[in-house]
Amino acid sequence: MLVSCGTPGNKTVNEQQNEKDPGISVPTFNSDSAFYYLERQVDFGPRVPNTDSHRRCAEYLSETLSRFVDTVYIQETVVTAFDDSRLNIQNIIGSFNPGNRSRILLAAHWDTRPFADEDPDPENHYTPIDGANDGASGVAVLLEIARHLSEKPIETGIDIIFFDAEDYGIHSSYGESKPDTWALGSKYWAQNPHISNYSARFGILLDMVGAPDATFKHEGYSMYYAPNIVRRVWQTAQHAGYGSYFLNQRAGYVMDDHYNINNYRNIPTINIIHQDDSTDHGFFEHWHTINDKAKFIDKNTLKAVGQTVLHVIYED
């Protein structure tokens, strides 16, 4: 198979110099491989809890992650949604160097919105979305990072967590936001980590990191809980040549998985998330619509985010 198919046996030839230590090279992020991982997720259909596509995608993610990491943990539980429905969910966790107490947490959510309640057509407001950007993009970037870590190991402990039930928040027709109805999987994990007393030096959450011309600003909770990590990541992005994506501008507060990690586990965690002032809802154009599809993903954006995170962890 080709590298673009994400096969762990193929080596990435191109590497970039580590600015802190010229003797250490940083792998070159392969956006074709990341896009392959994205398409594989979308091909299962909407990954809504309690559906067959959700179950099959969970199997794919755990199997793929297991090819790269030292240990995989599957955290299964049942949570209650805003409409009192019971959701069978899985947080999927892959660990490198599990015995090292010095750890970095990387995360994304893998489930998709069960309602296209921001779609321009009201007829679609109860239609599940593909979630190519809102869900699959962050997972795809982290799978590609995991592949690089398996080929070029580092001593630092790395945990990659795919959170479930992030996007099952209250339907917009209710007319209220109810922040506690979102990010259910990360809340459960933060209160019940896969390892007792789990901690990490810092965390990075990826959410909606694949839209064309995406811009990532300093999200509010990230600046409140982990301003030093924000500055470090954004400075790294600029040094790597991605300053047009990572803007040194303040943005709004987003109730996302990183909030629970900060609030319940006290791990300073930031959110790399696309916020767009030109839309009414403040996110990318196809957010929570039926058009959140793979054809609208830009590999250049995946590259900008993935390469930045690789620099952060290899230069740590």
**Residue 120, SS3?**
coil
Residue 283 · residue 110 · CB < 8 Å: no
The pLDDT, as a whole number, for residue 23 is: 53
The pLDDT, as a whole number, for residue 5 is: 27
The pLDDT, as a whole number, for residue 18 is: 53
- Average pLDDT for the chain: 93
pLDDT in tens, 298-313: 999 999 999 999 999 9
Residue 71 · residue 194 · CB < 8 Å: no
Asked if the model's pLDDT at residue 75 lies above 50, the reply is: yes
Question: Which CATH number is 95's domain given?
Answer: 3.40.630.10
Structure tokens at 292: 């959140």
The pLDDT, as a whole number, for residue 6 is: 29
Asked if the model's pLDDT at residue 235 lies above 80, the reply is: yes
The pLDDT, as a whole number, for residue 22 is: 55
Asked if the model's pLDDT at residue 262 lies above 60, the reply is: yes
**Could you give the number of structural domains in the chain?**
1
Asked if the model's pLDDT at residue 263 lies above 60, the reply is: yes
**Residue 302, SS3?**
helix
Is residue 101 left, alpha or beta, with left meaning phi > 0 and alpha meaning psi from -120 to 50?
alpha
pLDDT in tens, 168-206: 999 999 998 899 999 999 999 999 999 999 999 999 999
The pLDDT, as a whole number, for residue 16 is: 62
Q: What is the DSSP letter of 135?
A: I
In the chain, the percentage of residues whose pLDDT exceeds 90 is 91
Structure tokens at 7: 């096969």
Alpha helices in the chain (DSSP H): 31-43, 52-66, 138-151, 184-191, 220-225, 227-239, 257-265, 299-314
The pLDDT, as a whole number, for residue 26 is: 97
Of 315 and 1, which is predicted with more confidence? Answer: 315
Residue 129 · residue 46 · CB < 8 Å: yes
pLDDT in tens, 16-36: 655 555 557 999 999 999 999
Query: What is the span of the domain harbouring residue 267?
Result: 3-314
Nearest to 184 by CA among 53, 271, 89: 89
Q: How many residues does the chain have?
A: 316
Asked if the model's pLDDT at residue 1 lies above 80, the reply is: no
Cα 130 from Cα 112, distance rounded (Å): 7
Residue 13 · residue 45 · CB < 8 Å: no
